[in-house]
Amino acid sequence: MKRQLLLLLLCAAVLMPALAQTASPNPAEVLPQPYERDEFPDWLWSVRRFEIIALGVFPFALFYTRVGFDLSRFIANGFDPSYAPWPFSNEFSYKPTDEEQITSLLIAGGVALVFAGVDALILHLRPDN
């Protein structure tokens, strides 16, 4: 049994490089064609832009929202070191509650939606539209 398994593995090791020598496909044939401007309606391009901007702003908004929460908590507690904001906190520092975490997520989501909405409004009101 061991010899058969060893023989099978040896054959696979010897034949694998020979079988792998297939012609590589032409990259132009493999890549999908880019979308054309007239392939989708204009409103769908606007929705896509709104989504991209909202999702792109969200991580930055979340970071600054959490920094703002940390700073306000630190100031409200009289600059107590156990409430030090993120870069200065340690393992004994205050841990935000689930409610505070959800609130910061919702605020960051709202900020991201406002950013995307302002961009959509500017794009809609441009004179060349």
pLDDT attached to residue 58: 98
Q: Mean pLDDT score of the chain, rounded to an integer? A: 86
Residue 48 inside a domain? The answer is yes
Give the pLDDT mean for 67-94: 88
The Cα 122–Cα 4 span in angstroms is 72
Residue 16 inside a domain? The answer is no
Residue 32 inside a domain? The answer is no
Of 4-13, 40-49, 77-86, 108-117, the range with the highest mean pLDDT is 108-117
Give the pLDDT mean for 69-83: 90
Residue 7 inside a domain? The answer is no
* CB-based contacts of 56, cutoff 8 Å, min separation 6: none
Residue 21 inside a domain? The answer is no
Question: What are the DSSP calls for 19-70, one per residue?
Answer: HT-PPPPPHHHHSPPPPPGGGS-HHHHHHHHHHHHHHHHHHHHHHHHHHHHH
CA-nearest of 94, 105, 46, 50 to 72 is 94
Give the pLDDT mean for 83-111: 90
User: Each residue of 22-71: pLDDT tens digit?
Assistant: 666 676 677 788 888 888 888 888 899 999 999 999 999 999 999 999 99
Residue 58 inside a domain? The answer is yes
- Domain extent for 49: 39-125
pLDDT attached to residue 105: 96
Residue 64 inside a domain? The answer is yes
Report the domain count for the chain. 1
- pTM of the complete model: 0.68
Residue 50 inside a domain? The answer is yes
